[in-house]
Amino acid sequence: MTLDSDRADTKVCQIWGMQAEKGRWILLFLGMAINLCLGSVYSWSVFVSPLTEFFTGTLGQSVTAGEILMPFSVFLAFFAIAMPLTGKYLDKHGPRKIIIAGGILTGLGWVLASFSTSVFMLFILYGVIGGLGVGIAYGAPVAAAARWFPDRRGFAVGLVLLGFGFSAFITANLAGYLIGNIGVMNTFRIFGLAFVILIVLLALPFRFPPDGWIPKGYSGAAYTSQACSLDLPSMIRTGQFYALWICYFIGCLAGLMAISIAKPVGSEVVGVGGALGTMLVGFFAICNGGGRPVFGALTDKISPKNTAVASFLLIGGSSLLLGLSPSVPVYILAFALLWGCLGGWLAIAPASTARYFGTADYPRCYGVIFLAYGAGAIAGPQIAGYIRDTTGSYLDVFPVITVLSAVGIVTAFFLKDK
């Protein structure tokens, strides 16, 4: 496969001089590394206190905790919005160009954010520009994995997305070190420049397979650009689409409700100390990353419906257990499962989209389904905060999560096995 074409040669299908069956694994690990950069948004909590001190102490402005958290929400919102808008360009321009465009915009958002002189500027420069960049780049490695691995689609997609889940564990610690040594705004600048360089270089080998290519030994259908796949308008007229969208929304809503309160639940409810609490959040991030290939592989083996039911059973069971018997061991077990299941849905949904609706219009189709994640990302933390404010206890969040998981189980039975 040469670097001057966005689609592999149909006669000699090689990646980096290797047969595609072997070389395609390189693309998975490159995609994982790209997502490690894109997922740095999950390290935002590390920036909250330094940014508050910068705006209040250095610039003499009055800012609230909600205002400092808002760039994170804006980022996630534009991340979700950009996904379906980008999908139609992916087949036209190829994954390499889309990843590069998104990577440059992501890095630019971080770099420009370092010049912010108000929180509103941070909303625009980091939230809007950076969020759009991640939304543009995010779907391309996933689409490439789905097409190169028709035989292991769920596992391959989950492995690519593992980097997004692990990102907070690596980038949060790196950000904390840099902020302590060079300051918060210089850290934004360093992160942005690094992301541009890394993502552009990592994107260069990315290609889609040629029409009709299948891995040796695979007996299923090959991908072709004219395959019997549903396009976006056809997909949204199916009941399967709505069942998958609602399941994805519930899985993300429940997971993000829990994730947003992981540390305060530990400190306020079960008495986990500050140092241990920070360490456990890192452990939970590993569970979040690991859940992606695990649930992706389960989607391949036991069908999306059964995997969805298993996920909701784990979400509901862990929430019920924590609500009935709050303790440090139960807290660790419950949140490890909750973080892992949230990561799992970020593999179940893209793999299921390809399985149910095909790959010919996959980027646009999954982009619309991914809006469920955006809705859950916005609603989940807000609902958790509202419950805490009105009842006075974070424990009251978990009965709500248990009920949501029950609704998810019922909805999952409308997903047909395929």
Say which CATH number the domain at 135 has: 1.20.1250.20
pLDDT digits (tens, 9 = 90+) for 377-413: 778 877 887 888 888 888 999 999 999 999 999 999 9
Class of residue 228 by CB neighbours under 10 A (exposed 0-12, middle 13-18, buried 19+): exposed
pLDDT digits (tens, 9 = 90+) for 329-363: 999 999 999 999 999 998 899 889 988 988 777 77
Residues 287, 162 share a domain: no
Chain mean pLDDT for the chain:
86
Residues 35, 79 share a domain: yes
- Pick from 164, 186, 203: which residue ends a domain? 203
Q: Is residue 56 part of a domain?
A: yes
pLDDT digits (tens, 9 = 90+) for 292-313: 899 999 998 999 999 999 999 9
Cβ proximity of 50 and 180 under 8 Å: no
Residues 260, 160 share a domain: no
pLDDT of residue 197: 97
pLDDT of residue 193: 97
Residues 397, 250 share a domain: yes
Residues 258, 171 share a domain: no
The pair phi, psi for residue 269, each rounded to 5°, is: -100, -45
pLDDT of residue 264: 78
- Pick from 184, 203, 222: which residue ends a domain? 203
pLDDT of residue 105: 97
pLDDT of residue 65: 66
Residues 321, 236 share a domain: yes
- Its domain, for residue 67, covers 15-203
Query: What are the residues facing 7 on neighbouring strands?
Result: 208
Confidence band of 31 (pLDDT split at 50, 70, 90):
very high
Q: Which range, 189-193, 220-224, 232-236, 257-261, is most confident?
A: 189-193
Taking 90 as the threshold, does the pLDDT of residue 28 lie above it? Answer: yes
Average pLDDT value for residue range 248-267: 84
What are the CA-CA distances from residue 130 to residues 71, 127, 138, 276 (Å)? 10, 6, 12, 31
Residues 185, 69 share a domain: yes
Burial 71-94 (b: 16+ CB within 10 A, else e): bbbbbbbbbbbbbbebbebbbeeb
Residues 76, 36 share a domain: yes
Q: Is residue 217 part of a domain?
A: no
pLDDT digits (tens, 9 = 90+) for 210-250: 877 888 877 766 655 544 467 788 899 999 999 999 999 99
pLDDT digits (tens, 9 = 90+) for 140-188: 998 899 889 888 888 898 889 888 888 878 888 888 889 889 999 999 9
Residues 252, 174 share a domain: no
pLDDT of residue 68: 79
Burial 294-317 (b: 16+ CB within 10 A, else e): bbbbbbbeebbbebbbbbbebbbe
d(CA 78, CA 379): 15
Q: Is residue 238 part of a domain?
A: yes
Q: Is residue 221 part of a domain?
A: no
Residues 248, 146 share a domain: no
Element (H, E) at 19: strand 18-19
Q: Is residue 361 part of a domain?
A: yes
pLDDT of residue 166: 83
d(CA 260, CA 388): 12
Residues 361, 313 share a domain: yes
d(CA 194, CA 170): 14
What are the CA-CA distances from residue 120 to residues 61, 77, 135, 327, 413 (Å)? 12, 16, 21, 41, 44
d(CA 326, CA 89): 49
Query: What are the residues facing 19 on neighbouring strands?
Result: 14
pLDDT of residue 228: 46
**C-alpha angle 288-293-297 in degrees, rounded to nearest 5:** 135
Nearest to 190 by CA among 59, 53, 55, 37: 37
Taking 80 as the threshold, does the pLDDT of residue 326 lie above it? Answer: yes
The total number of structural domains that make up the chain: 2
Residues 196, 245 share a domain: no
Element (H, E) at 31: helix 20-38
